[in-house]
Amino acid sequence: MYKSVIYVAFALCFMLSVSYAYDCCVPPQWQGQAAGVIGDGHVQYKNVYYDSIGKRVRIDIISESFNQTSYTFFQGNGTGKEWVVDSVQGCYITGPDYWNDQCFGESYGLPYIGKQGNLQHFGNSQNGISVSTDENCLPVLFNYVYSYMQFTYYNTLNYIVSDSVFDIPSDCPSWPSNN
């Protein structure tokens, strides 16, 4: 009897630690739209295309103050090449940037807080970031407390509708050969 009580207590502790240590990563490919308010009080919209298979990301930012699209492509070493297109400067090269696996949970510095309905909640009070995801780990809400920004995601899909979203405009400069 005493041994069975110990085993049950151990099993409960193990189950609680497993449920608290929940991690998730977004699907290998996904796209979605987001709307939010940024630090200066302006509304900003985003179209996000994320492809971890091809290691590429495109983000369109549409706001009252500027519109911008960034195309980022990553190589095997984790650093990337990035082109930015905006209405003021045209197309220009920035970078390198670094790959982000878009994972959430204790292992990724954004601990699991709990589940409410179909949403998983992750947050870190030290960096002021919290994220809510759906059951497929697609983002639903990003909150950057210290930057006064919050984005709600909608129309998210766990695939990319068209690979052409990663086509860099033809008037963009070529990447320098020494990089």
In a domain, 76, yes or no: no
User: What digits encode the pLDDT tens for the residues 88-132?
Assistant: 899 999 876 778 889 999 999 999 999 999 999 999 999 999 999
Domain of 105 in residue numbering reads as 2-66+100-162
pTM here is 0.82
* E strand or H helix at 59: strand 56-63
Structural domain count, the chain: 1
In a domain, 152, yes or no: yes
pLDDT of residue 177: 64
In a domain, 74, yes or no: no
Residues contacting residue 109 through CB under 8 Å, at least 6 positions apart: 124, 127
In angstroms, the CA 105 to CA 1 distance is 37
27: buried, middle or exposed (CB in 10 Å: 19+, 13-18, 0-12)?
middle
Q: Is the peptide bond before 96 cis (omega within 30 degrees of 0)?
A: yes
Q: What is the mean pLDDT of the chain?
A: 85
pLDDT of residue 138: 97
Length of the chain: 179
In a domain, 57, yes or no: yes
In a domain, 120, yes or no: yes
Give the torsion sign (CA, 107, 108, 111, 116): negative
In a domain, 117, yes or no: yes
Range scoring the smallest mean pLDDT among 10-19, 58-67, 83-92:
10-19
Say whether pLDDT at 68 is over 60. yes
26: buried, middle or exposed (CB in 10 Å: 19+, 13-18, 0-12)?
buried
In a domain, 155, yes or no: yes
pLDDT of residue 47: 98
In a domain, 111, yes or no: yes
In angstroms, the CA 50 to CA 138 distance is 11
